[in-house]
Structure 1
Amino acid sequence: MSCFRLATATALAGVRPLPPASRSGALRLLTRKRNPDVAFARRQFAVAVENGGGKKKPNGTFKLAVLGATVGAATGSVYTMYQRWTDGSSHKEHEETKPTCLGGIPAGVRITKRYVNPKDTSGLDIVLFQFQTCPFCCKVRAFLDFMGISYAVVEVDAVLRQDIRWSSVKKVPMVLIRQQDGQYVQMVDSSAIISLIATYLQDKRTDIGELAQFYPHTSFFDDDGKKKNDILNKYFLMYREHTPKGVSKETEETDRKWRSWADSHLVHLISPNCYQTMGESLETFEWFSQAGEWDVHFPKWERDLMVYCGATAMWAIAKILKRRHALTDDVRSHMYDALDQWTNELKKRNTKFMGGKQPSLADLSVFGVLSSMEGCQTFKDCLLNTSIGKWFYDVKALVEKNRGQLQRERIENLAAIA
């Protein structure tokens, strides 16, 4: 309505007669000017004054202005109501949602395997919901394995997703971690999961559920005005009184920089590379099936559905992602450039790992992303055309050395024995 009032007031101002005193003053002012432009303006002004003195009805321009303002205001009101109807919280910004807590493991959750490390002193009870070859899931596993933490795995069907039907969040990786009170805190987002557990390992005096409250979902609007959600502090470790020994501000900033780089850049190069042709997409999903033991954990029809539907869908999605991230047809070159950027930084620092003598969270994040395509042709080409191999296999050796013993199982109702 404010737009309507403004347009109406403007139109009315254009036909309102000037008071006699104002008319004579204005005419005298214009008469003093003696150049052609002023003379023309004087004539137009005089005509406008004379026309304004009559009692003529508003002309067609005025009617169109009023009509346009009315239509514009009505359209804007309808659009606003529609936006609020489709998203009741679309107007809210920086709204925080704390992690969810569950009374126990949901009934029907099927554990497919466990990694049990006798040397694990974390005291954590973790259930990881994952796709075996999802880059973000690989990141979480690389971290848990390197830290020597025991955990259970639920292999989720990438198409039907039956094992996460109970959750309002239909994404993996997702973890359920047991709190001191017996409840399970639910965490999503690989970087937030890693930061939460890494924080707890630095100082176990605070319950894992309390620490999880420092990683809430928050809403914001991007540069295009679209509402987005992300997890606050996901690249930060929440120390209590002071940072631990050997951790400086520079090392923290470096870690956050490269962890963010892995999420915002490196991971987006995988799909356009691994699924750029239908043949390569099918080859990739056959490797996924082998790595994830889909023939063991799922019936044949479900395994075939995941392979053929997944390969077709990702082949199509890869083309969309290629355009979205402004990649050229030579998608391999973008991957090579990214890996050269990482290895050049290692050379500049003259260290074995980004963390120095031992892998940091940044090393484990980049390793996890790359390990998701280890059996694909893309990774083989990367080994031939970049110097990533030495660093990658050095990290892999340490991850496998610290990993717990694999126990394959399928428990239909974990809640009954939890």
Structure 2
Amino acid sequence: PAPPALSEAAKAKLSELDIVIYQYKICPFCNKIKALLDYYGVDYHVIEVNPLTKAQTKAVTDYKKVPVANIGGEIVTDSPQIVRVLKAKMAEADDVDFAGFFSEAAEEWTEFADKKLAVLLFPNITRNWNESYQAFSYVNDVPTFSSMDKMSNLAIGSTAMWLAQGKLKKKYGIEDERDALFSAVTKFEEALGDNAFLGGANPNMGDIAVFGVIRAIEGMDAFNDLQSETKIGPW
């Protein structure tokens, strides 16, 4: 069955919530939230957070990570909780049943995206200094960052990420980060089988979560290698 679609009236009602997502552009959990909103055509605004100072989120919460969401004036932290709140708001706006889209199987693959796939991205985009610098280069395109913000994030942020790579690999027992990433994506591909999506003919939340996580590294060397070494590209 097709996933429930939101009516234009529901989208208009949700737009009144003035949803704001505080993010790092390369954060997989932030991209998961945006993928859900994009899929249902729900309007939202993005505020890019300075990774070094976190000034933007400090103004609204003591929570030290992203994403942070402002949903109708309510500050919500932690991506699973943000998804739960958005699900409730969408259901209220249109009185639709999201049971299939957020099925038990979909929840399992959403957890896979959060706890298995997402944690592999950091060691893959920081496996050497050049790739770490490449990952942090997005700050150059943030119009709200000053020249000093951009220079400091590129110099300090990319170096700190590169130096932390080995510690993270040890924490999660990762030997070869590229092989681990390819294996995780291959596991997802095998779950698809002959279906277009985990949800069958249409995506469910598991598909959206995996898509959002992978989209976080689009354009980077790790993403290009993933495209060439797996079959995830057409999906």
- TM-score, normalized by the shorter chain, greater than 0.5: yes
Contact kept? 1:122, 1:149, Cα under 8 Å: no
Contact kept? 1:274, 1:377, Cα under 8 Å: yes
- Residue 339 of structure 1: aligned partner: 185
SS in 2 for 1:203: helix
- Residue 375 of structure 1: aligned partner: 219
Contact kept? 2:182, 2:226, Cα under 8 Å: yes
- Residue 177 of structure 1: aligned partner: 71
**Match among 107, 111, 114 for residue 260 of structure 1:** 111
- Residue 134 of structure 1: aligned partner: 27
How has the CA–CA distance of structure 1 residues 245 and 154 changed in structure 2, closer, same or farther, with 3 Å as cutoff? closer
Identity %: 29
Using structure 1 for the length normalisation, give the TM-score: 0.51
- Residue 79 of structure 2: aligned partner: 190
Structure 1 residue ranges, 4+ long, deviating more than 2 angstroms after superposition: 117-125, 202-206, 243-248
How has the CA–CA distance of structure 1 residues 120 and 337 changed in structure 2, closer, same or farther, with 3 Å as cutoff? same
For 1:119 and 1:300, how far apart are their aligned partners in 2? 41
**Match among 260, 278, 286 for residue 129 of structure 2:** 278
- Residue 315 of structure 1: aligned partner: 162
How has the CA–CA distance of structure 1 residues 276 and 171 changed in structure 2, closer, same or farther, with 3 Å as cutoff? same
How far off is 1:195 after superposition?
2.1
SS in 2 for 1:358: coil
Using structure 2 for the length normalisation, give the TM-score: 0.88
Structure richer in strand, relative to its length: 1
SS in 2 for 1:359: coil
Q: Deviations over 1:255-294 (max 9, x none)?
A: 11101111111111111111011122112222x235xx22
For 2:122 and 2:98, how far apart are their aligned partners in 1? 39
1:201-350 superposed matches below 5 A? 201-204=90-93, 244=97, 247=100, 252-286=103-137, 288-289=138-139, 293-294=141-142, 296-328=143-175, 330-347=176-193, 350=194
> Unaligned stretches of 5+ in structure 1?
1-116, 179-183, 207-242, 392-418
Contact kept? 1:142, 1:367, Cα under 8 Å: yes
SS in 2 for 1:367: helix
- Residue 47 of structure 2: aligned partner: 154
For 1:304 and 1:245, how far apart are their aligned partners in 2? 44
How has the CA–CA distance of structure 1 residues 118 and 205 changed in structure 2, closer, same or farther, with 3 Å as cutoff? closer
Q: Deviations over 1:163-189 (max 9, x none)?
A: 1223221221111111xxxxx211011
For 1:246 and 1:268, how far apart are their aligned partners in 2? 28
Contact kept? 2:185, 2:232, Cα under 8 Å: yes
**Match among 70, 77, 88 for residue 199 of structure 1:** 88
Which letter does structure 2 place at the counterpart of 1:344?
E
Contact kept? 2:125, 2:221, Cα under 8 Å: yes
Larger Rg: 1
SS in 2 for 1:336: helix
Structure 2 residue 209 is matched with structure 1 residue 365: yes
How has the CA–CA distance of structure 1 residues 147 and 122 changed in structure 2, closer, same or farther, with 3 Å as cutoff? farther
Which letter does structure 1 place at the counterpart of 2:30?
C
Contact kept? 1:140, 1:190, Cα under 8 Å: yes
Q: Deviations over 1:188-239 (max 9, x none)?
A: 1112211221232123389xxxxxxxxxxxxxxxxxxxxxxxxxxxxxxxxx
How has the CA–CA distance of structure 1 residues 204 and 118 changed in structure 2, closer, same or farther, with 3 Å as cutoff? closer
For 1:204 and 1:280, how far apart are their aligned partners in 2? 43
Which letter does structure 2 place at the counterpart of 1:345?
A
Contact kept? 1:173, 1:190, Cα under 8 Å: yes
Contact kept? 2:182, 2:230, Cα under 8 Å: yes
For 2:110 and 2:144, how far apart are their aligned partners in 1? 32
- Residue 11 of structure 2: aligned partner: 120
For 2:99 and 2:85, how far apart are their aligned partners in 1? 20
- Residue 83 of structure 1: aligned partner: none
SS in 1 for 2:36: helix
1:32-181 superposed matches below 5 A? 120-123=11-14, 124-166=17-59, 167-178=61-72
Higher RCO, Cα 8 Å, sep 6+:
2
Which letter does structure 2 place at the counterpart of 1:148?
G
How far off is 1:122 after superposition?
3.7
For 2:114 and 2:10, how far apart are their aligned partners in 1? 31
> Unaligned stretches of 5+ in structure 2?
1-7
